[in-house]
């Protein structure tokens, strides 16, 4: 995942996964030939993100890792809370807006600090949950997007914990004294992810190893869908990023939100 000489940008939220990842990468960077910096995306969720920012800042200082915060408000002129107030309807979930904007914010942050690679703390459980969410929504193209990126992408996106169970990361964080935010995001239980997480944990408790087997299947299925559903890449007319339509999903989303906001201001 990491190539000699890379500048790795760890995207750190303040949760157990990303802080454990930062801890592991920091140790590895001392014996392997790559550099490490960290970024945090501040969505603008009142009463939630402030604690995480403090935890990340203190932990980066302790590890001696350079660290920078990028805010939705500065990048998109909208906080997440403002976006939720002007979304077209409640069916557009907080997490789908937040996730779309976060991917762009991370790309921006990684480019800004000159990184070759963005490393996120997504674990095996996250992959399984996302696969089921995409399956249930009928959006099979997104399953193809789950296949790991080619080495030629810039910046490359890697998930070093993609084969690690969530509970193993919790264990790593506790045994290494890694501080992390325990307070969940106030929007966390709005979507279906928590129910799927409980369902998969029950299955794993009763049938040890099913998560690993499912993860192997997802790897193959995503590869097949990616190869069979190839769409010619185009350049977004608004921002110049790669996309498959005339404008990318981020610009499309921002356009709708800002139109709604200006209508509401009149």
Tokens linked to 72: 């939705």
Instruction: Say how many C-beta atoms besides its own lie within 10 A of residue 112's C-beta.
Output: 12
Tell me if 189 contacts ligand SF4 by CB under 6 A: no
Nearer to ligand SF4, 79 or 94 (CB): 94
Distance CA 145, CA 262 (A): 33
Nearest approach, Cβ of residue 49 and ligand SF4 (Å) = 8
Q: What is the dihedral of CA 184, 187, 188, 191, to 10 degrees?
A: 170
Among 188, 224, 235, 237, binds ligand SF4 (CB under 6 A): 188
* Cα-Cα-Cα-Cα dihedral sign, residues 125, 53, 40, 179: negative
Tokens linked to 44: 């603008």
Distance CA 25, CA 160 (A): 9
Tell me if 46 contacts ligand SF4 by CB under 6 A: no
Distance CA 70, CA 60 (A): 16
Residue 88, helix vs strand vs coil: coil
Nearest approach, Cβ of residue 101 and ligand SF4 (Å) = 9
Nearest approach, Cβ of residue 183 and ligand SF4 (Å) = 11
Nearer to ligand SF4, 99 or 114 (CB): 99
Residue 79-98 contact track with ligand SF4, rule CB under 6 A, x = bound: ---------------xx--x
Tell me if 257 contacts ligand SF4 by CB under 6 A: no
Tell me if 99 contacts ligand SF4 by CB under 6 A: yes
Nearer to ligand SF4, 35 or 256 (CB): 256
The interface with ligand SF4 within residues 146-185 (CB under 6 A) comprises 185
Nearer to ligand SF4, 98 or 196 (CB): 98
Among 37, 122, 157, 187, binds ligand SF4 (CB under 6 A): 187
Residue 5-44 contact track with ligand SF4, rule CB under 6 A, x = bound: --------------------------------------x-
Tell me if 122 contacts ligand SF4 by CB under 6 A: no
| CB contact set of 103 (below 8 Å; sequence gap of 6+) | 250
User: Pick from 18, 185, 12: which is nearest to 94 by CA?
Assistant: 185
Nearest approach, Cβ of residue 265 and ligand SF4 (Å) = 24
- Name residue, tokens 């709708």: 256
Nearest approach, Cβ of residue 81 and ligand SF4 (Å) = 10
Tell me if 78 contacts ligand SF4 by CB under 6 A: no
* Exposed/middle/buried for residue 260 (C-beta within 10 Å: 0-12, 13-18, 19+): middle
Residue 152, helix vs strand vs coil: coil
| Contacts to ligand SF4 by CB under 6 A | 43, 94-95, 98-99, 185, 187-188
């Amino acid at each position: 995942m990491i190539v000699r000489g890379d500048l790795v940008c760890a995207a750190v939220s303040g949760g157990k996964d990303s802080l454990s990842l930062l801890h592991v990468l920091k140790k590895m960077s001392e014996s392997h030939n790559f550099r490490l910096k960290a970024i945090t995306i501040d969505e603008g969720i009142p009463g939630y993100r402030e604690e995480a920012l403090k935890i990340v800042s203190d932990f980066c200082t302790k590890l001696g890792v350079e660290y920078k915060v990028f805010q939705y408000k500065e990048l998109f002129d909208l906080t997440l809370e403002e976006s939720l107030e002007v979304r077209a309807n409640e069916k557009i979930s907080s997490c789908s807006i937040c996730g779309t904007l976060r991917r762009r914010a991370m790309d921006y942050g990684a480019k800004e600090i000159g990184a070759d690679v963005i490393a996120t703390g997504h674990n095996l459980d996250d992959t399984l949950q996302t696969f089921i969410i995409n399956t249930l929504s009928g959006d099979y193209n997104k399953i193809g997007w789950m296949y790991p990126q080619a080495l030629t992408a810039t910046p490359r996106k890697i998930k070093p914990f993609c084969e690690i169970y969530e509970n193993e990361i919790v264990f790593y964080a506790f045994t290494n004294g890694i501080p992390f935010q325990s307070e969940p995001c106030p929007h966390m239980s709005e979507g279906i992810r928590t129910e799927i997480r409980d369902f998969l944990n029950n299955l794993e408790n009763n049938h040890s190893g099913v998560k690993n087997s499912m993860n192997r299947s997802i790897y193959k299925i995503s590869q097949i869908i990616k190869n069979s559903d190839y769409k010619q890449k185009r350049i977004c007319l608004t921002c110049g990023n790669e996309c498959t339509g005339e404008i990318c999903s981020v610009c499309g989303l921002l356009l709708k939100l800002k139109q709604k906001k200006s209508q509401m201001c009149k």
